[in-house]
Structure 1
Amino acid sequence: MTRRQRNTTPIAPHLSTDATPANPMTDEQRIARAVAVANSEIAGQLCAAAERRTGRPRLIPLAGVLGAYIFHATGEPHTMTTSGVCRSMKRLKPRQRAALGIPKTMQIKYKRMHSGWRAIMRLVASGVLVDHDHDLDVDADTGEVLPCPVGCPFEPIDLDQVATLLIQASLPPEFERPPAVAIDGTDVESFARAHEPHLDTEGRKVYSFDRDARWGHRTGTNRRPTEHFFGYEAHIATYAPKAGGSPVPQVAAGLALRPGVRDRTAACLNIVDAVPTFAEILLDRGYTLAKGTRLARPLRDRDITLTMDLHKTQRVVRPGPSAGMVWVDGTLYSSALPEPLRTLEPPEPGMTAGEKARRREAFDAREPYRFVAHGKRNTKRGTQRFRGPAVDGHPFKVRCNNTPASMRMPHTIPTTICVQGEPCGCGATVTVADRELERDRQHHPWQSTRWALSFNRRSLVEGIIGANRFQNLNVNRGFFRMTGLVATGMLLAVTLIGHNLVRLHAWHTVRGRPEPWQVHLGEPIDDRPLDKATRTRGRRKRNGD
């Protein structure tokens, strides 16, 4: 019996064309980018405020500590720990460490590096970037702190704000920020295990050594079933191009961390306030099921357009603001909308592209009966005017008996079944208050083709989460070895900074475009020949298999 010889030819890993690292950054490029982020405005303020004013100066400056952590993150590490940072520093030459801000003759020790990192975390945990220059006064009757006098330099900070601003510092000014942002959450398990709760000395329930972590719920995937986890939920934002526009690199734009699964709307709004100006936000039902006063109204007040999915409880038919009008799936229509078009089944995930397109044709058939915005929103009164599909003086979308001018239009335009003289909204103009059905309204009709082109961009944020959790990195339990909300949030922010620096270089290099950091730092053109990327070769089936 002959023995089949085993094929020992190594099989190349599976690499997508967008995730191909092309030519990895050199140590000099990683150092230059880490130093640029560590010397940014927000990082400089953090390091200056965290530096001790008395005692001996630190052997390793805080800017050098922060730069070392960022440098370690650009190497796509197995773990984001202080010991890993020390190993990365020991591999560098003395002159390279000096470029990061670490003295040449300084010996890299865990205690020195960890002490600097803890100093930065203590500042963020205190919530104060610049302290008061006066004593605080309290109202004896109410117990409230009196306002500061004019000229007080007090400046508070927040973990969400610090994390987002640091991530924004990893995107140079030469990077043109797209006009849309997508936000989604993912679980980050705590390194500490949960146990039976007990009361501490202050009477609070303690579940684990990680006192900030809480229980949360995560939905099932192909990798794991639906289950509970103990830790945090990271809300990550990424940029999305215009609907139908050219692709952009998948980079992180902001971060907010919360214990367990809670306070999602506040986390979303904190990211919105810290990210530079943008026009549109893409959210799933994990955020938009909140009350309109908690999310939809604050986003409208910030002049941000919302594109979202609707829950089954939101997909109902409601009476409109006036006779002859109806709300269908959060959009205002004339009551002439045919009954078969009022309750439609949306496309399902397992359908083919053709089946989804056919279902969306039914949603697109609602368009002629839709009310459209008439002029700008009145910010003082908090109202928006809408005109019907057969308003005289505008392009007619339907032919209605109550609007004689529309009946002279070609028969290619849909003809309503409205009875002349009876209430009809086709030719009406109505003023709708912003607070009316504010949670469910959006600028594109739900499940229409235009809505799908816009909302499908939200998958970009799922791509960046998958790249950091399973593809390029393993941001799961054990990736962070520190406990606490601030420590986990800051380490995750540094991890996303490293992702941004690596992704910007790889994305532009593969496409032969000038990298934004290369232009910003004035680096010479990287003319190295691109590495050849190969895909995984399929295994041949044996006879009879």
Structure 2
Amino acid sequence: MTAQTLEPRWRPRKRTVAGQLRYATAAVDNSPELLAIADALTARTGRPRNIPIRALLIACCLHARVDPTNMYRTRIADLLVSLNAAQRRDLGIAGPVSYSQVERAALKLDRAARDGITLPANDHQDAQTLNLDAVMSLICSAALPPGFITTATVAADGMDFESPARPQGFVDKRTGEILQCADPEAGIGHRTATPSHPSSWFTGQELTVVTNAPDRPTSGAPSPPAPTVVLAAGIRAAASDRAGVTAGLVLWWHQRVPVRECAVDRGISQGSDDDFAAPLRRAGIEQIIDLKTQDRKIHTAWTNDQVLMINGGVFTKGTPEALYTDLPTPKLSDTTDEKVRKHEIYDRLQPFACQPLTAIDEAGRQRFRGPAHKHVRRVRCPNSPRSMRWSLLPKTRCVKGEPCICATTFTLGPEDDIKLRQRDLWMTTKWKASYGRRNMAEQGISQARVHAGKLVRLYTQVRNRAGQGIAAAFSLFGSNLTIIQDWYDARGIDDPWVAFLGEQPLDQSDHPRIPRANRKKPKASLLRRLASGTDPP
């Protein structure tokens, strides 16, 4: 064993309120869309607002970073009061700060996001109208520094965001309608059961988030390491429009950074084809999905009776029946060994799968090559003498002289399970490894709720969807900024915001080491072996 040097561990950079204010100011000022929103909401006549919309955006971003437990307007007003005169002057605040000023500015932003904010045309883009989801996505993604490492894969999932109103019957005095609670836009949603808690119901909104995920690793270019952050967010009443809001958020991010793959769970993918799968196909984005029980079926393709559709995959009809008869289904109680065994059973089907030749076109048609095609060469087929020379490959049950598609190219239409098609065959080992990247969305949600933020019930007292969505977006901004700073601090390097702000970078001599008494001491025998450079006897 050669002599080694233990890697030093460094304390994270000291984060002060003044330093976080510089981060929040740079994040807002570096977003042309947020500045355009602030300009669009600024009145051209009358007395100027004491707290400009730009100052409100910066103050909310700062509050979400230094106090992630709530987004109360009283706390935002207290934060502005705690700033010195020079800091308030840089924000455009000239006079004293009061709660009513913060409340009026916040109501202006919430109502504008609810009704839509129209941005005028400029040299870079045409006039556009931003809806609530776009405003939320702009706020939470503003925490990403210039030059942030991005991937071409995203993951999406939804999380419950309970209304602050108590879930009990409430009568709207204006309309006489009986509501679930005092929040008129709240819905009733269902929490999926997990090994840690049973299923339950909640009253409020559902927050959908899109996070970055690792790309498919290749031998030459593995996926670059990067922290998991929320790229876009949207809000709907609980248990409504899950597929539509997810597709809209993915396409919104696709306009900023090209996306090739999107991994979602069944709660999103089981929506209609027009709501989720079709918009992604038109944008050239592949879906990575799980199948519900109704989609796990075996039948002959409608457009070609020589094609067998197995769980959304395209196979030759010459596939041995023993391989797809009584296929096991996944269960929540499966052990690791049982999961591996089931994946191996599905892996046996892979040689008989047809290879996609083209992407799905606008009409829903897609061309395939048979598994015995000369450019595929996965199986042997009696109707293809060339393939029979490949003695080590499995053989189909095709009969010589009868029609088959094993060595041909063919086209399938939109009626042939177009909604379920994906690159990797469902339940195979490759599919499991690819679908596992969806956990990045779960990680983003856990960061927002527990580790980096506190996006739970009573995070805000606002009782409308727009206000709750804007508050959630600021919370996600604070979580993103915390995750980025902690990720770089854990590696002893400066985050990209440091270079953007022109701050003094910290080298090893500037990073104070953790005192030895606070570190786990290695055994004396290990230290002697490291110093001597010899292996133990």
TM-score range, shorter chain: 0.7 to 0.9
Task: From the superposition, tell whether residues 171 and 334 of structure 1 become closer, same or farther in structure 2 (CA, over 3 Å).
Answer: same
Partner residue of 1:290 out of 271, 274, 298: 271
SS in 2 for 1:318: strand
Alpha-carbon distance, 1:328 to partner: 0.3
Whether the aligned pair in 2 keeps the contact of 1:347 and 1:355 (CA below 8 Å) is: no
Instruction: Provide, for residues 18-39 of structure 1, a one-character-per-residue CA deviation record: whole Å limited to 9, x for no partner.
Output: xx99445333331122112322
Q: Indicate yes or no: 2:155 matched with 1:182.
A: yes
Partner residue of 1:385 out of 367, 392, 403: 367
Q: Indicate yes or no: 2:509 matched with 1:518.
A: no
In structure 2, C-alpha distance between the alignment counterparts of 1:470 and 1:220, rounded to whole Å: 19
Counterpart residue identity of residue 230, structure 2: A
Partner residue of 2:26 out of 22, 36, 49: 36
Whether the aligned pair in 2 keeps the contact of 1:504 and 1:516 (CA below 8 Å) is: no
Whether the aligned pair in 2 keeps the contact of 1:236 and 1:253 (CA below 8 Å) is: yes
In structure 1, C-alpha distance between the alignment counterparts of 2:11 and 2:329, rounded to whole Å: 38
Give runs of aligned pairs for residues 153-164 of structure 1, distance below 5 A: 155-164=128-137
Q: Indicate yes or no: 2:64 matched with 1:82.
A: no
Partner residue of 1:165 out of 138, 157, 165: 138
Partner residue of 2:402 out of 417, 422, 435: 422
Query: Where in structure 1 are there 5+ consecutive unaligned residues?
Result: 1-19, 133-152, 537-545
Whether the aligned pair in 2 keeps the contact of 1:323 and 1:424 (CA below 8 Å) is: no
In structure 2, the residue matched to 1:65 is 56
Counterpart residue identity of residue 100, structure 2: K
Task: From the superposition, tell whether residues 84 and 378 of structure 1 become closer, same or farther in structure 2 (CA, over 3 Å).
Answer: closer
Task: From the superposition, tell whether residues 509 and 402 of structure 1 become closer, same or farther in structure 2 (CA, over 3 Å).
Answer: same
In structure 1, the residue matched to 2:475 is 495
Alpha-carbon distance, 1:313 to partner: 1.0
In structure 2, C-alpha distance between the alignment counterparts of 1:350 and 1:99, rounded to whole Å: 58
In structure 1, C-alpha distance between the alignment counterparts of 2:102 and 2:437, rounded to whole Å: 40
Query: Where in structure 2 are there 5+ consecutive unaligned residues?
Result: 1-9, 218-222, 521-537
In structure 1, the residue matched to 2:210 is 237
In structure 2, C-alpha distance between the alignment counterparts of 1:110 and 1:416, rounded to whole Å: 76
SS in 2 for 1:402: coil
In structure 2, C-alpha distance between the alignment counterparts of 1:349 and 1:523, rounded to whole Å: 50
Alpha-carbon distance, 1:304 to partner: 0.6
In structure 2, C-alpha distance between the alignment counterparts of 1:102 and 1:177, rounded to whole Å: 36
Figure out how many residues of one structure are paired with residues of the other and give that number.
492
In structure 2, C-alpha distance between the alignment counterparts of 1:532 and 1:213, rounded to whole Å: 51
Instruction: Provide, for residues 183-217 of structure 1, a one-character-per-residue CA deviation record: whole Å limited to 9, x for no partner.
Output: 10011001112332535434544443321112222
Instruction: Provide, for residues 423-449 of structure 1, a one-character-per-residue CA deviation record: whole Å limited to 9, x for no partner.
Output: 323223211124531111111111112
In structure 1, the residue matched to 2:375 is 394
SS in 2 for 1:397: coil
Q: Indicate yes or no: 2:454 matched with 1:474.
A: yes
Whether the aligned pair in 2 keeps the contact of 1:70 and 1:498 (CA below 8 Å) is: yes
Instruction: Provide, for residues 395-431 of structure 1, a one-character-per-residue CA deviation record: whole Å limited to 9, x for no partner.
Output: 4111111111111112x21122322112323223211
In structure 2, the residue matched to 1:361 is 344
Give runs of aligned pairs for residues 116-127 of structure 1, distance below 5 A: 116-127=105-116
Whether the aligned pair in 2 keeps the contact of 1:373 and 1:384 (CA below 8 Å) is: yes
Give runs of aligned pairs for residues 224-373 of structure 1, distance below 5 A: 224-244=197-217, 245-275=223-253, 276=256, 277-320=258-301, 321-342=303-324, 343-373=326-356
SS in 2 for 1:188: strand
Task: From the superposition, tell whether residues 229 and 378 of structure 1 become closer, same or farther in structure 2 (CA, over 3 Å).
Answer: closer
TM-score (norm 1): 0.84
In structure 1, C-alpha distance between the alignment counterparts of 2:230 and 2:89, rounded to whole Å: 29
SS in 2 for 1:25: coil
Instruction: Provide, for residues 446-491 of structure 1, a one-character-per-residue CA deviation record: whole Å limited to 9, x for no partner.
Output: 1112211111011111111112223333322111111101100001
Structure 1 window deviating more from structure 2 (241-250 vs 272-281): it is 241-250
TM-score (norm 2): 0.85
Instruction: Provide, for residues 251-310 of structure 1, a one-character-per-residue CA deviation record: whole Å limited to 9, x for no partner.
Output: 101101001210112211220232122111111100111222222111101111100011
Q: Indicate yes or no: 2:497 matched with 1:507.
A: no
Task: From the superposition, tell whether residues 114 and 21 of structure 1 become closer, same or farther in structure 2 (CA, over 3 Å).
Answer: farther
In structure 2, C-alpha distance between the alignment counterparts of 1:192 and 1:395, rounded to whole Å: 60
Q: Indicate yes or no: 2:93 matched with 1:93.
A: no
RMSD of aligned Cα (Å): 2.6
Whether the aligned pair in 2 keeps the contact of 1:236 and 1:255 (CA below 8 Å) is: yes
Instruction: Provide, for residues 221-248 of structure 1, a one-character-per-residue CA deviation record: whole Å limited to 9, x for no partner.
Output: 4665322211000001100011343442
In structure 2, C-alpha distance between the alignment counterparts of 1:413 and 1:49, rounded to whole Å: 66
Alpha-carbon distance, 1:87 to partner: 3.1
SS in 2 for 1:253: strand
Alpha-carbon distance, 1:95 to partner: 3.1
Counterpart residue identity of residue 440, structure 1: L
Alpha-carbon distance, 1:178 to partner: 0.9
Higher percent of residues as helix: 2
Structure 1 window deviating more from structure 2 (233-242 vs 120-129): it is 120-129
Structure 1 window deviating more from structure 2 (321-330 vs 346-355): it is 346-355
Whether the aligned pair in 2 keeps the contact of 1:73 and 1:494 (CA below 8 Å) is: yes
In structure 2, C-alpha distance between the alignment counterparts of 1:449 and 1:264, rounded to whole Å: 28
Counterpart residue identity of residue 370, structure 1: A
In structure 2, C-alpha distance between the alignment counterparts of 1:226 and 1:381, rounded to whole Å: 40
Partner residue of 1:50 out of 41, 60, 63: 41
Task: From the superposition, tell whether residues 530 and 456 of structure 1 become closer, same or farther in structure 2 (CA, over 3 Å).
Answer: farther
In structure 1, the residue matched to 2:445 is 465
Alpha-carbon distance, 1:378 to partner: 6.6
